[in-house]
Amino acid sequence: MKRVCAPSEYLAVATRGIDRASNLADASRAADYEDSLLDRNSDAIVKRSFVAACLLCALACIFSLPLDAQAAPSGSAKPDPPSVKIPSADQILTRYIDAVGGRAAWGILTSRVSAGTMKVTGLNVTGTVEIHEKAPNRMLTVVKIGDTSFRQGFDGKIGWTEDPQNGLREQAGAELGETQREADFYSPLNFRNHYTKFTVAGSEKVDGRDAFVLQATAPGDDDPDKIYFDAQSGLPIRILGHHHSPGGVAWFVEDLSDYREIDGVKLPFAIAQTSMDSEFTVEISEVHHNVALEDSQFSKPAVQ
């Protein structure tokens, strides 16, 4: 599942710029919020978000504390006596492929351009999101907040991020591994290859709906993500996951909704993500497939 993000430090910079431009409805509250972020800016990190096997979305900036300073959020899902027979991990993943359109529909797609808006809950901070994806494994995400831009890309080998505060940075280790998985254009079809272990953890209620809980462990990672698949539709509706960055590990809860069929495949058009100290939402407004995209746009920019 795909996620995209910008570190909390980035959003703090953007928020200050918006504040100076008097675009915040409550300047004093925004200043207090910035100060609280700056007090722990060495710890703050962000979660990449995009979910999906298809999703392009997951996007945006989330502030969170590293794992040694926070516990994994539990989300609102509650264990519930199973009202339906619990399927195996293989059955859940096979149905997932069918639910998002099937192999044939995904096989005729070669690229995707998605655009939308994001909003940080509790602040008058909004921005735009644009994601370019090209088969088999290239991705570029651009988040703009006011006059500030954040970019994250993967060219098939090199993962990189660029923002005004930290400049251009190349990814490595677990962070790069996450980006490689997220950049897989055919992620729903290849989902079994992205993780080394799957465990079905029963069923739970998510916003009143029965969901099968699948724990997925990535290579070299001891902490599994939990993915909640709607028992009725087979689509993923919640992810309890974590993201690695140079600052540490950030946990998040991501809810996916408003699935729409575009060119034969289903994608979530609404994403809500919550970490220990923030919430944001992303709404996708348009998706275009099989757009001509040059490989060069995904490459790490040359240092100026």
How far is 102 from 265, CA to CA, in rounded Å?
8
Scanning the structure block, which residue is given the tokens 């096979």?
94
| Helices 187-194 & 173-182 angle (0-180, nearest 10) | 150
Residue 254 in tokens = 């991501």
Amino acid at 159: G
- Reduced to 3 DSSP states, what percent helix, strand and coil does the chain have, rounded to the nearest 5? 20, 40, 35
Are the beta carbons of 278 and 64 closer than 8 angstroms?
A: yes
**Residue 48 CB neighbours (<10 A):** 28
- Please report, for residues 144, 158, 174, 248, the alpha-carbon distance to residue 171 in angstroms, rounded to integers and kept in the order given: 21, 7, 9, 13
**Do residues 111 and 139 touch, judged by C-beta distance below 8 A?**
no
Name the pairing type of β-strands 167-170 and 197-206.
unpaired
Domains of the chain: 4-286 (2.50.20)
132 - beta bridge partners?
113, 140
Pairing of strands 236-245, 59-61: unpaired
What pLDDT does 304 receive? Answer: 67
> pLDDT per position in the chain (304 positions), as tens?
554 343 333 443 343 333 333 333 343 443 443 343 333 332 322 223 332 222 223 333 322 233 333 445 555 555 555 557 899 999 999 999 999 999 999 999 999 999 999 999 888 899 999 999 999 999 999 999 999 999 999 999 999 999 988 899 999 999 999 999 999 999 999 999 999 999 999 999 999 999 999 999 999 888 999 999 999 999 999 999 998 888 888 899 999 999 999 999 999 999 999 988 779 999 999 999 999 999 999 999 997 6
CA distances from 228 to 107, 113, 217 (A): 25, 26, 14
Closest CA to 129 of 274, 29, 2, 227: 2
Determine the pLDDT at residue 39. Answer: 39
Q: Write down the H helix ranges in the chain.
A: 8-20, 27-39, 89-99, 103-107, 173-182, 187-194
pLDDT at 47: 28
pTM over 0.85: no
Radius of gyration in angstroms for the set of CA atoms belonging to the chain, rounded to a whole number: 18
Phi then psi for residue 5, to 5 deg, are: -155, 175
The closest of 169, 195, 49 to 116, measured between CA atoms, is 49
In the chain, the largest separation of any two C-alpha atoms, in whole Å, equals 59
Give the separation between CA 178 and CA 152, rounded to whole angstroms: 13
| Distance (Å, whole) CA 92 – CA 128 | 34
Identify the pLDDT of residue 72: 53
Q: Which residues contact 151 (CB under 8 A, 6 or more apart)?
A: 140, 141, 142, 143, 161, 162, 163
CA 152 to centroid of chain Cα atoms: 12
